[in-house]
Amino acid sequence: MMTTAILDPVRVDAITQRASRVKPGRTLLALFVGVFTLAGWLAAKGFMVVWAVATLAWAAAAEGWESARGPSRRQQIAVLTSRVEHLATENRRLGGSG
């Protein structure tokens, strides 16, 4: 009596018809494809993490290398040239000779 009262609002016939239309081969294929989709997604996320870590490590190593060696001769010349050009501009602006 209790079971009948619980199942009354449930449309058992509709559920049975829908379950009979399910094709096991297609269901297995969907599960098979889903597993590979999940594996591909996880691999892509893993690759993104590895790429980010490798990129940051490379940049840190390059920055450390340059810090340890100091500025190159070319960088020193570029800074000094820039300073000279700035001073020459200021000199002309202030009406100096040169």
Residue spans per domain, the chain: 12-93
Distance between CA atoms of residues 75 and 78, nearest Å: 5
pLDDT band at 10; cut points 50, 70, 90: confident
pLDDT of residue 14: 82
1 vs 46 pLDDT, higher one? 46
Instruction: Report whether pLDDT(38) > 90.
Output: yes
Read off the pTM.
0.48
Instruction: Report whether pLDDT(50) > 70.
Output: yes
Instruction: Report whether pLDDT(35) > 90.
Output: yes
With CA atoms as reference, report the closest residue to 88 among 78, 79, 98: 98
